[in-house]
């Protein structure tokens, strides 16, 4: 049978079977994340996760200024710097706002905040192991 003749006889189910391998238990794409809320100020918040992980995002839940948030690799505050997020005094920080990282970390993630106010900023770290 010619290709043209065969193409006209492909059923919708055959197309779906090609696109989604129905013999597999899943599509192989896992998009769920674990969330951890951090509100400490003036001291390390400590480990978010101490094993290999995938840092997806950091969400700032409140419009707070004059806070520095530090993300470190290695599961401790003194680990390798991933990023320093500075919210200047008097700045307008819309909340919530999210910074996307999408980076693989081989040995943990820690977060610390430095703030002149007692509560620090209310942030949510989204990651997956």
Residue 56 has pLDDT above 60, yes or no: yes
pLDDT (mean) for 86-105: 81
> DSSP alpha helices (H): ranges in the chain?
3-7, 12-19
77 burial (CB, 10 Å; 0-12 / 13-18 / 19+) is: middle
3-class DSSP state for residue 4?
helix
Q: Where are the domains of the chain?
A: 29-128
pLDDT top residue among 100 and 113: 100
d(CA 74, CA 99): 20
- Say if residue 45 is exposed, middle or buried (CB neighbours under 10 Å; 0-12, 13-18, 19+): buried
Biggest CA-to-CA distance, the chain = 77
At 117 the pLDDT is 63
Under CATH, which number does the domain 29-128 receive? 2.60.120.340
Does residue 93 surpass a pLDDT of 90?
Answer: no
Please check the confidence at residue 33 and state whether its pLDDT lies above 80.
Answer: yes
Q: What is the pTM of this model?
A: 0.68
Place of tokens 């200024």: 65
pLDDT of residue 57: 95
């Amino acid at each position: 049978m010619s290709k043209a003749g065969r193409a006209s006889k492909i059923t919708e189910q055959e197309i779906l079977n090609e696109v989604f391998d129905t013999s597999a238990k899943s599509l192989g794409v896992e998009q769920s994340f674990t969330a951890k809320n951090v509100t400490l100020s003036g001291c390390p918040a400590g480990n978010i996760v101490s094993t290999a992980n995938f840092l997806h995002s950091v969400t700032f839940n409140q419009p707070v200024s004059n806070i520095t948030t530090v993300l470190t690799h290695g599961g401790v505050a003194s680990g390798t710097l991933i990023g320093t997020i500075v919210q200047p005094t008097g700045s307008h920080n819309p909340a919530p706002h999210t910074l996307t990282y999408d980076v693989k970390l081989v040995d943990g993630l820690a977060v610390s905040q430095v703030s002149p106010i007692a509560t620090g900023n209310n942030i949510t770290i989204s990651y997956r192991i």
